[in-house]
């Protein structure tokens, strides 16, 4: 069989030559041995991307447990799998094998393929992939995975991965050693992308892509601090948690990884983990480095943090990677370019150019989750794309990342109640690693990107105030400029919708047309500029006979003449008459010089509106804000000293065009 035919001469040499056959031996896991070994530094090879190493580097290259290193199936025959059945047969074989994966191998029903010792799984050229299946290594050793994709075992609707039948990992290791995962791609699995469990040891994960998943990469499930692993030059993107979560690792060396667009925490050490994090690049990651427990030691050095917030822990001395093996790391500033061009299967990084993407819970779409669909859009692309979401209730938190502008996300029908995006994170809820989720961690939908349009669907924060007590619980936070919501429902209680900006001096304009928004306390708030045109704004009944909440709470910067405009809208409620305030001024602690601004005009106000229309807040009188009304009608449209009115001349200067500053949203009449 010609290796040149399948891989090309260079790849064949890189993958198969120079690896001395070494038999696998079952052995108990002794105390860690930190013998040094040599590791070739990462280099570039012309336009082929990073040079493929002949041997694994890092901990997978070291001797231990009866092996001199990791060689996979080098001592055995070469076979080719073109079906899942063949892959299962070869993977379970007792003999060493080099198993070429040729084409798309898709399982009709998810299967986790048992793997015996001394195996190499190598993708053949571009397009080699295993679909709706994963690999399971239990008490085995000497296994290599290279050059193919493992994808799409996600169970639509089970974003949390809590269903009892959902153990759909890409790779699961239990008490296994000497495993090398290199130039692979893992995306959209039902559970974890790789679960490294139960005292597995001598591992290297290098040059992989881990993408479009909730739970990415967990390590641990053991009380023992045994695992030694090297994690380098991986691209972790559009994930939420476990990026990695390193529990009780004896030595985890994490360098030159690129973490991009991560919804929750980044790298985490837990229990007695010893972790060295160096030369990594974090962008748009909340809590990028967390030492969760008192026994955790994390060395945090030479990392770059871009558009991040939260914890960047640096505690203890952990260990010295150079005492185990030689390595040369790239400068952190170069990591995004190096990793994004070189990680993943060779010749298999074509950018997605499709402009129409479909999401469905019944398997008829391109993806089963909205967040996965957003992740399929290449970061940095400015091409206009439309994501159509078919009817159903999608339980997930969704981020439209700042590096994915010009997206339209729309329900498949004209009825926004048919498509519901729902989650239940309260801002006051406790993170399991300390602190609270806060405002930025609470929204079900966060729109970071400019020129985003959302239409004909519902976004809900389903946090149960009655059962769990009051808390901020945002349905939507918009941050990007020129964001449009059309025919969208926003459901929540306190702080349902936050019109935000990327910073105090940034401008962010949002246009909301024919939307329905409900809540009770300050449920339209923030420092952004927002025009609510033809909307129904519904105040929930809190059961009070005197105070059933506040509608707007702007925190407009003092240099911005335009905050909130409610026009041609209807304000409704089932609350007792006269018990809802139009709003109050929010002088946020981060911006004591704010000058809150809101205008309600040409709208119908129900009888729930208070005779004293505006309220004080946090020691500030409502008169310190810029509040006004104009030509409203209905039983709540009072004209008195508590309802300041614009003159006709003034009203002519405060129009949607003025608030939007020359931007004409699509669909605006």
CB distance 52 to 11 below 8 Å: yes
Residue 293 domain-assigned (yes or no): yes
Q: Are residues 307 and 442 in the same domain?
A: no
C-alpha to C-alpha distance for 447 and 445, rounded to whole angstroms? 7
Q: Are residues 309 and 425 in the same domain?
A: no
CB distance 642 to 614 below 8 Å: yes
Report helix, strand or coil for 112: strand
With bands split at pLDDT 50, 70 and 90, how would you rate the model's confidence at 502?
A: very high
Range of lowest pLDDT (20-29, 185-194, 308-317, 379-388): 20-29
Q: What is the Cα gyration radius of the chain?
A: 28
Task: Report the Cα 279 to chain-centroid distance in Å.
Answer: 22
Other CB atoms within 10 Å distance of the CB of residue 642: 17
- CA torsion 390→392→398→403, rounded to 10°? 0
Residue 379 domain-assigned (yes or no): no
Over residues 431-442, the pLDDT tens digits come to: 999 999 999 999
Q: Are residues 629 and 514 in the same domain?
A: yes
pLDDT at 668 over 70: no
pLDDT at 25 over 80: no
Domain end position, chosen among 317, 342, 367: 342
Q: Are residues 338 and 402 in the same domain?
A: no
**Per-residue model confidence (pLDDT) at position 54:** 81
pLDDT at 10 over 90: no
Query: Residue 456: which CATH number?
Result: 2.160.20.10
**Per-residue model confidence (pLDDT) at position 348:** 64
pLDDT at 15 over 70: no
Report helix, strand or coil for 522: strand
229 conformational bin, left if phi > 0, alpha if psi -120 to 50, beta if neither: beta
Residue 290 domain-assigned (yes or no): yes
Q: What is the 3-state secondary structure (H, E, C) of 544-603?
A: CCCCCCEEEEECCCCCCCCCEEEECCEEEECCCCCCEEEECCCCCCCCCCCCCEEEEECC
C-alpha to C-alpha distance for 92 and 73, rounded to whole angstroms? 12
Burial 138-149 (b: 16+ CB within 10 A, else e): eebbbbbbbbbb
Over residues 570-595, the pLDDT tens digits come to: 999 999 999 999 999 999 887 888 99
Helix (H) or strand (E) holding 605: strand 604-605
Report helix, strand or coil for 84: helix
Helix (H) or strand (E) holding 170: none
Q: Are residues 214 and 101 in the same domain?
A: yes
Burial 428-455 (b: 16+ CB within 10 A, else e): bbebebeeebbbbbbbbbbbbbbbbbbb
Over residues 275-303, the pLDDT tens digits come to: 999 999 999 999 999 999 999 999 999 99
**Per-residue model confidence (pLDDT) at position 349:** 62
Name the residue among 580, 549, 550, 553 with its Cα closest to residue 564. 553
The residue length of the chain stands at 669
Residue 474 domain-assigned (yes or no): yes
Residue 222 domain-assigned (yes or no): yes
- Residues 480, 481, 486: CA angle, nearest 5 degrees: 90
Residue 180 domain-assigned (yes or no): yes
pLDDT at 100 over 70: yes
Name the residue among 353, 350, 349, 390 with its Cα closest to residue 370. 390
Q: Are residues 561 and 641 in the same domain?
A: yes
Domain end position, chosen among 276, 309, 342: 342
pLDDT at 243 over 80: yes
CB distance 142 to 117 below 8 Å: yes
Name the residue among 591, 399, 388 with its Cα closest to residue 476. 399
- Residues 308, 310, 315: CA angle, nearest 5 degrees: 110
pLDDT at 16 over 60: no
Give me the domain span that covers residue 567: 398-660
Mean pLDDT of the chain: 91
pLDDT at 37 over 60: no
DSSP state of 186: E
Q: Are residues 317 and 424 in the same domain?
A: no
Helix (H) or strand (E) holding 629: strand 626-630
Helix (H) or strand (E) holding 649: helix 648-651
Over residues 415-468, the pLDDT tens digits come to: 999 999 999 999 999 999 999 999 999 999 999 999 999 999 999 999 999 899
DSSP state of 288: -
Over residues 316-361, the pLDDT tens digits come to: 999 999 999 999 999 999 999 999 999 999 876 667 789 999 999 9
**Per-residue model confidence (pLDDT) at position 34:** 26
**Per-residue model confidence (pLDDT) at position 369:** 97
**Per-residue model confidence (pLDDT) at position 667:** 66
Q: Are residues 327 and 450 in the same domain?
A: no
Residue 43 domain-assigned (yes or no): no
Q: Are residues 406 and 304 in the same domain?
A: no
pLDDT at 27 over 70: no
Report helix, strand or coil for 149: strand
* Percentage of the residues of the chain whose pLDDT score is greater than 90: 88
Report helix, strand or coil for 418: helix
- For the chain, give the longest Cα–Cα distance: 90
**Per-residue model confidence (pLDDT) at position 591:** 81
CB distance 594 to 586 below 8 Å: yes
Greater model confidence, 3 or 414:
414
Sheet holding 516-519, edge to edge: 392-395, 419-423, 458-461, 489-491, 516-519, 536-539, 570-573, 604-605
Distances (CA, A) of 303 to 297, 300, 330, 333: 16, 7, 11, 9
357 conformational bin, left if phi > 0, alpha if psi -120 to 50, beta if neither: beta
Burial 153-171 (b: 16+ CB within 10 A, else e): bbbbbbbebeeeebbbbbb
Over residues 101-126, the pLDDT tens digits come to: 999 999 999 999 999 999 999 999 88
Q: Are residues 205 and 280 in the same domain?
A: yes
451 conformational bin, left if phi > 0, alpha if psi -120 to 50, beta if neither: left
CB distance 602 to 570 below 8 Å: no
Provide the domain count of the chain.
Answer: 2
Name the residue among 322, 295, 304, 302 with its Cα closest to residue 266. 304
Q: Are residues 139 and 231 in the same domain?
A: yes
The residues carrying an active-site annotation are 495, 522
Residue 39 domain-assigned (yes or no): no
Q: Are residues 338 and 403 in the same domain?
A: no
Report helix, strand or coil for 463: coil
Domain end position, chosen among 342, 375, 409: 342
């Amino acid at each position: 069989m010609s290796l040149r035919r399948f891989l090309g001469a260079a790849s064949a040499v890189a993958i198969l030559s120079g690896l001395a056959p070494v038999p696998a031996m079952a052995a108990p896991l002794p105390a860690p041995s930190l013998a040094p070994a040599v590791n070739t530094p990462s280099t570039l090879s012309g336009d082929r991307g990073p040079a493929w190493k002949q041997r694994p580097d890092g901990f997978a290259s070291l001797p231990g447990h009866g092996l001199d290193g990791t060689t996979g199936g080098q001592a055995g025959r070469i076979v080719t799998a073109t079906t899942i059945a063949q892959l299962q047969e070869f993977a379970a074989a007792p003999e060493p094998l080099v198993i070429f994966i040729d084409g798309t191998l898709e399982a009709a029903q998810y299967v986790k393929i048992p793997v015996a010792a001394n195996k190499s799984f190598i993708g053949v050229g571009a397009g080699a992939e295993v679909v709706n299946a994963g690999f399971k290594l239990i008490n085995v050793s000497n296994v290599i995975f290279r050059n193919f994709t493992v994808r799409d075992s996600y169970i639509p609707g089970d974003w949390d991965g809590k269903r009892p039948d959902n153990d759909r990992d890409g790779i699961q290791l239990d008490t296994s050693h000497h495993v090398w995962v290199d130039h692979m791609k893992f995306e959209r699995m039902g559970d974890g992308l790789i679960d490294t469990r139960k005292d597995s040891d001598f591992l290297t994960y290098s040059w992989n892509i881990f993408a479009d998943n909730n739970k990415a990469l967990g390590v641990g499930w053991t009380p023992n601090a045994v695992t030694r692993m090297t994690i380098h030059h991986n691209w972790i993107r559009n994930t939420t948690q476990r990026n990695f979560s390193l529990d009780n690792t004896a030595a985890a060396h994490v360098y030159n990884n690129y973490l991009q667009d991560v919804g929750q925490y980044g790298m985490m050490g837990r229990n007695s983990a010893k972790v060295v994090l160096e030369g990594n690049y974090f962008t748009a990651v909340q809590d990028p480095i967390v030492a969760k427990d008192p026994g955790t030691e994390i060395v945090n050095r030479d990392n770059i943090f871009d558009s991040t917030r939260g914890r960047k822990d640096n505690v203890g001395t952990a260990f010295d990677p150079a005492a185990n093996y030689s390595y040369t790391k790239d400068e952190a500033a170069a990591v995004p370019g190096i990793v994004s061009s070189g990680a993943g299967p060779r010749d298999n990084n074509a950018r997605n150019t499709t402009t129409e993407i479909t999401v469905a819970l019944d398997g008829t779409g391109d993806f089963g989750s909205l967040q996965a669909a957003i992740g399929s859009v290449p970061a940095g692309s400015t091409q206009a794309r439309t994501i159509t979401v078919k009817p159903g209730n999608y339980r997930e938190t969704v981020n439209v990342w700042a590096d994915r502008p010009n997206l339209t996300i729309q329900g498949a029908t004209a009825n926004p109640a048919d498509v519901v995006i729902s989650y239940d994170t309260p801002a006051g809820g406790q993170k399991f690693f300390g602190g609270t989720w806060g405002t930025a961690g609470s929204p079900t939908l966060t729109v970071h990107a400019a020129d985003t349009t959302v239409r004909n669907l519902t976004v809900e924060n389903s946090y149960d105030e009655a059962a769990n007590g009051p808390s901020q619980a945002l349905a939507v936070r918009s941050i990007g400029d020129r964001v449009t919501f059309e025919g969208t429902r926003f459901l929540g209680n306190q702080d349902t919708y936050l019109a935000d900006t990327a910073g105090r001096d940034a401008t962010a304009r949002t246009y909301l047309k024919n939307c329905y928004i409900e809540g009770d306390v300050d449920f339209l708030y923030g420092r952004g500029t927002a025009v609510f045109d033809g909307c129904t704004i519904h105040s929930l009944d809190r059961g009070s006979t005197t105070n059933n909440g506040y509608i707007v709470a702007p925190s407009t910067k003092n240099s911005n003449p335009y905050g909130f405009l409610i026009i041609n809208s209807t304000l409704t409620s089932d609350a007792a008459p006269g018990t809802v305030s139009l709003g109050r001024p929010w002088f946020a602690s981060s911006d004591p010089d704010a000058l809150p601004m809101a205008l309600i005009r040409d709208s119908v106000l129900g009888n729930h509106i208070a005779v004293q229309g505006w309220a004080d807040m946090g020691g500030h009188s409502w008169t310190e804000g810029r509040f006004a009304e104009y030509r409203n009608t209905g039983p709540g449209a009072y004209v008195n000293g508590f309802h300041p009115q614009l003159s006709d001349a003034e009203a002519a200067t405060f129009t949607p065009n003025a608030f939007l500053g020359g931007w004409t949203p699509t669909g605006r009449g």
